[in-house]
Chain A
């Protein structure tokens, strides 16, 4: 059972306090999107053995959604950060690199 620290209220929360929300940083595809884009948005989820970015809600706490960077294989938590970010922030990327020097971000910096 994981422990994740809610970046909103600062509580180190047990997994039973949290509601999982799947992959983070999805970009919504609305009525203008093609079938392929919409399918990818709705169904195609990453399932890496390693670094993963996830959505969690502190459901039995402050009620806020937040994001977590975590290794799915070792359960190491690289950090949690607020949900209102389009990409993982620099300090999270740095922490991942410390532990996984070979890891490469799969988004382009804006």
Chain B
């Protein structure tokens, strides 16, 4: 490094407190900054200009900007679970003991092996990867992609869980002002005076935007406005809050940093605001553009405004000899501030022919040389600026003179920050005189009322003199897209447009020549403005070069779409409290605590947690399921069936309605009887099943699957409200009002009779598929004689608050009968032994009841039901479908669930043809052999045939097509 410390100026720095030193570490070195510093200002104060390496060529990079648009100075921040990649040095406040790591370099920032890419740069133009790694095809998967992947990505993801707390909050305001500069604060006052509730968001810790830095008396004006706003009850001011995205109907997302500086305070580190704004005022200011001259990426070449900020705001000199290069008046402010701070300003290089006006005059009066009609031919220096070579701006770059310097402050003009305006559809218009895209006030994003709901004010609207510096009226800008204007290829190949992604003027020209005429295509082909830039720094210069190459006006080229977020949000901020146990609500049955106390191993079913099995002693899940099944088949067991959907359908037209909803007839079901029903969607596919009980003349109770209760209730309401709205039917989802217990096994009746009560449980009084109600063990109960296990079975529904009591009474009374609680897996296996289908196993949204041999549950008498028309389509009834069968493994192994049965030949893609697949597969403890069900082409007509199932890891398993009912085919147990 050629220059010597100290770089902290002896005076100035409105944001720092010289009384408080802040020690920190960078790349292993111990350094000191001041309270109020950003990481960038502290590093510059220590003479550390080199802060990173570019993404593609690993070129050395220093900070370009002083704000959120910074593309180069991205650092890894913190350690362990608090490590965060890609943190902007220019906006992150320096804190005590901070540990900073440079990125995209190895083994160190100074000696980076990847910098070899820089020497290969001529071989790595835009689209290099697309063109080079195409052939031979297998090389992509096995060689190119793994190698490229390893070098891809900016920064490294943290490997430990984030220990900090984050939260979300909702905000509502008539007017939300984004940007706490002079334009934003004035707009806030105006809105507040009209009586509106006003919320003002400022991205940084300080109010005022550029005004205090750029304008004499600016701080006073800001302070007066703040005092006024703070005194108003209808105004809320929020600093450290970045509005990152604006969505439909004024939905604004903002991130408030609460404790980024000290995560150990015990308060949430960041807060995600979800704000509904009646009207959004985007007073988001403008961003300065770089100029495209050769080697404009050498560390020390910075935006003029950034140089000014480091001097005025942080009392830091980025260098000692500062050359200013510009096409507008504003950059003269940098020269003036630098000169007044005691730094050398050897020249202002101005592309405009004859710079005149208040600012150039003031610069000249300070003794600064102003070179009109001049440009930079190239920057000298590799790791740091050493000099610039000047040339005539309108020429081809013939050198005029060499000026020694260590910083180049450049300004290519300013671009309004139109991101929020554009996020939800606001249109832009090209302003030729101002050389900028500005928001078109006639085409704003619209609110629900069809009126514009976003207004850009101040610099964001294109009014760059909004701060009211009337003493210094500015002369017009002259658009400069390439410097010098007729620069040859050799110079253009060294002009950076996108500093982060290493996109140069020649890359965009190449893309245009290769046919990428659309700005969106060029962006993706070259990676211009991708990653964190999102059009902040590179956008306008890039599309101006594209327009030049295509020989069309910039307005015709247009701009790429601005997409949220404006600056990145961490996943932790987005997730906020919605993680771990608070990720989603948990539904528990009334008997949940008993299950927990008795070894239940739970499984999630929707938002429910159901016992999968109850583990005893050292047994695993498999052993527990085996034991539970045998206990039910030999004695008696209990299943918590409370999660089953229970929907009451009532009214004069309830029977007619259920006839439309189910494939079979429900209107003719006798009171006191139960019937198994199938429900299809309008496309004919099976969506749910369950037992329906008729409770009274006008009342039915529909059971649904555990996961289907809410969905099926919604389905019923949809048809009642939107199609048959004149039918007199009411539905109520009573799933959580009842606890339900299945008592199954040969001893089930014996057990229930011991509990005592008013219900006659004899086979004559309560046969299979009937229900009765009355008193059971002193509890008001409804008992359904239905069975999913294939055993004698009673399902008992009681009010939820009596569920645990019933369960405990059953277990006390059944001790000597060997009563065993069983879980969902035992239930699954037992229903498969019995050949009962399971929604979600035998069905997948493409299965009609006819595929499953359920024709008996489809009414032939009904003129219509939901799905009937669909099931009459050709492919539904042509007999050429896969149908349900049982599968018997030939070698005693369990076939993997989902395995496919192969057929002869291959399809058009060269893949083996298939003729069926396994839908359920278990080891049956009852039969002590594997059982399976599957869907097979013409299956029921092919009994006894053997199918081949290739299995993962190689090999083929063979299985014979058999009847799907493996157990108690005649149903004597069930009817017992």
Assess whether B869 is in contact with A65, with CB atoms less than 8 Å apart.
no
B442 to chain A, nearest CB (A): 13
- 15 more A-B residue pairs beyond the given contacts A1-B251, A65-B722, A83-B721, with a C-beta to C-beta distance below 8 A: A2-B249, A3-B276, A3-B448, A4-B448, A21-B722, A29-B869, A30-B869, A31-B863, A35-B873, A42-B682, A42-B683, A64-B721, A75-B248, A76-B450, A83-B722
Assess whether A75 is in contact with B446, with CB atoms less than 8 Å apart.
yes
Flag whether B162 is at the interface (Cβ < 8 A).
no
B340 to chain A, nearest CB (A): 50
Q: Which of B129-167 contact A (CB under 8 A)?
A: none
Binary contact readout A56-84 vs B (1 if CB under 8 angstroms, 0 otherwise):
01010001110000010011110000011
Binary contact readout A17-38 vs B (1 if CB under 8 angstroms, 0 otherwise):
0010100000011110101001
A2 to B683, CA, bound (A): 30
B251 to chain A, nearest CB (A): 4
B-chain residues with CB within 8 Å of residue A44 when the two chains form the complex: none
Binary contact readout B680-719 vs A (1 if CB under 8 angstroms, 0 otherwise):
0011000000000000000000000000000000100110
A-chain residues with CB within 8 Å of residue B249 when the two chains form the complex: 1-3, 75
B299 to chain A, nearest CB (A): 43
A1 to B723, CA, bound (A): 28
Binary contact readout B440-453 vs A (1 if CB under 8 angstroms, 0 otherwise):
00000010111000
A33 to B870, CA, bound (A): 10
Assess whether B722 is in contact with A1, with CB atoms less than 8 Å apart.
no
Q: Which of B237-268 contact A (CB under 8 A)?
A: 247-249, 251
Flag whether B868 is at the interface (Cβ < 8 A).
yes
A33 to B869, CA, bound (A): 8
Flag whether B725 is at the interface (Cβ < 8 A).
yes
What are 25 residue pairs bridging A and B, where the CB atoms are less than 8 Å apart in the complex? Answer: A1-B247, A1-B248, A3-B276, A14-B276, A31-B872, A33-B869, A35-B873, A38-B869, A38-B870, A38-B873, A42-B682, A42-B683, A42-B870, A55-B722, A71-B450, A74-B446, A74-B450, A75-B249, A75-B424, A75-B446, A76-B446, A76-B448, A76-B450, A77-B450, A84-B721
Flag whether A99 is at the interface (Cβ < 8 A).
yes
A35 to B875, CA, bound (A): 12
Report if A30-B717 is in contact (Cβ < 8 Å); known contacts: A2-B248, A99-B450.
no
Assess whether A63 is in contact with B717, with CB atoms less than 8 Å apart.
yes
Flag whether B23 is at the interface (Cβ < 8 A).
no
Report which of B251, B446, B723, B869 forms a contact with A31, defined as CB distance below 8 A: B869
A63 to B869, CA, bound (A): 29
A-chain residues with CB within 8 Å of residue B869 when the two chains form the complex: 29-31, 33, 38
B-chain residues with CB within 8 Å of residue A99 when the two chains form the complex: 450
A-chain residues with CB within 8 Å of residue B425 when the two chains form the complex: 74-75
A74 to B870, CA, bound (A): 37
A99 to B449, CA, bound (A): 10
A4 to B446, CA, bound (A): 14
Q: Which residue of A lies closest to B660 (CB)?
A: A30
Flag whether B596 is at the interface (Cβ < 8 A).
no
Report which of A21, A76, A77, A84 forms a contact with B718, defined as CB distance below 8 A: A21
Q: How many Cβ-Cβ contacts under 8 Å join chain A to chain B?
A: 69
Flag whether B864 is at the interface (Cβ < 8 A).
yes
Report if A31-B449 is in contact (Cβ < 8 Å); known contacts: A2-B248, A42-B683, A42-B870.
no
B-chain residues with CB within 8 Å of residue A31 when the two chains form the complex: 863-864, 868-869, 872
A77 to chain B, nearest CB (A): 4
Binding site for B on A (CB under 8 A): 1-4, 14-15, 19, 21, 28-31, 33, 35, 38, 42, 55, 57, 59, 63-65, 71, 74-77, 83-84, 99
Q: Which of B862-908 contact A (CB under 8 A)?
A: 863-864, 868-870, 872-873
Q: Which residue of B lies closest to A27 (CB)?
A: B723
Binding site for A on B (CB under 8 A): 247-249, 251, 276, 424-425, 446, 448-450, 682-683, 714, 717-718, 721-723, 725, 863-864, 868-870, 872-873
A7 to chain B, nearest CB (A): 12
B-chain residues with CB within 8 Å of residue A84 when the two chains form the complex: 721-722, 725
Assess whether A65 is in contact with B717, with CB atoms less than 8 Å apart.
yes
Assess whether A19 is in contact with B864, with CB atoms less than 8 Å apart.
no
Report if A59-B714 is in contact (Cβ < 8 Å); known contacts: A28-B723, A31-B869, A35-B873.
yes
Report which of A2, A4, A21, A30 forms a contact with B864, defined as CB distance below 8 A: A30
A31 to B868, CA, bound (A): 6
B-chain residues with CB within 8 Å of residue A2 when the two chains form the complex: 248-249, 448
B-chain residues with CB within 8 Å of residue A83 when the two chains form the complex: 721-722, 725
A74 to B276, CA, bound (A): 18
Q: Which residue of B lies closest to A3 (CB)?
A: B249
Assess whether B251 is in contact with A76, with CB atoms less than 8 Å apart.
no
Q: Which residue of B lies closest to A100 (CB)?
A: B450
A3 to B717, CA, bound (A): 23
A-chain residues with CB within 8 Å of residue B424 when the two chains form the complex: 75
A30 to B868, CA, bound (A): 8
B-chain residues with CB within 8 Å of residue A33 when the two chains form the complex: 869
Q: Which residue of A lies closest to B719 (CB)?
A: A28
B121 to chain A, nearest CB (A): 44
A55 to B722, CA, bound (A): 9
Assess whether B721 is in contact with A19, with CB atoms less than 8 Å apart.
no
A63 to B721, CA, bound (A): 10
Assess whether B721 is in contact with A65, with CB atoms less than 8 Å apart.
yes
Q: Which residue of A lies closest to B683 (CB)?
A: A42
A85 to chain B, nearest CB (A): 10
A-chain residues with CB within 8 Å of residue B723 when the two chains form the complex: 28
A29 to B683, CA, bound (A): 11
Q: Which residue of B lies closest to A84 (CB)?
A: B725
A14 to B250, CA, bound (A): 11
A42 to B680, CA, bound (A): 14
Q: Which residue of B lies closest to A25 (CB)?
A: B722
B-chain residues with CB within 8 Å of residue A19 when the two chains form the complex: 714
A39 to B251, CA, bound (A): 38
A-chain residues with CB within 8 Å of residue B718 when the two chains form the complex: 21, 57, 65
B-chain residues with CB within 8 Å of residue A1 when the two chains form the complex: 247-249, 251
B-chain residues with CB within 8 Å of residue A28 when the two chains form the complex: 723
Report if A77-B868 is in contact (Cβ < 8 Å); known contacts: A83-B722, A83-B725, A84-B721.
no
Q: Which residue of A lies closest to B247 (CB)?
A: A1
A-chain residues with CB within 8 Å of residue B863 when the two chains form the complex: 31
Which interface residue of A1, A15, A83, A84 has the most chain B CB atoms within 10 A? A1
A-chain residues with CB within 8 Å of residue B251 when the two chains form the complex: 1
A64 to B725, CA, bound (A): 12
A109 to B264, CA, bound (A): 68
A-chain residues with CB within 8 Å of residue B683 when the two chains form the complex: 42
A54 to B577, CA, bound (A): 33
B736 to chain A, nearest CB (A): 16
A-chain residues with CB within 8 Å of residue B870 when the two chains form the complex: 38, 42
Q: Which residue of A lies closest to B713 (CB)?
A: A63
Report if A77-B725 is in contact (Cβ < 8 Å); known contacts: A2-B248, A31-B864.
no
A-chain residues with CB within 8 Å of residue B248 when the two chains form the complex: 1-2, 15, 75
B-chain residues with CB within 8 Å of residue A4 when the two chains form the complex: 448
B859 to chain A, nearest CB (A): 12
A35 to B699, CA, bound (A): 36
Assess whether A76 is in contact with B725, with CB atoms less than 8 Å apart.
no
A101 to chain B, nearest CB (A): 13
A15 to B718, CA, bound (A): 18
A-chain residues with CB within 8 Å of residue B872 when the two chains form the complex: 31
A23 to chain B, nearest CB (A): 12
Report which of A29, A63, A77 forms a contact with B448, defined as CB distance below 8 A: A77
A-chain residues with CB within 8 Å of residue B864 when the two chains form the complex: 30-31
A19 to B713, CA, bound (A): 14
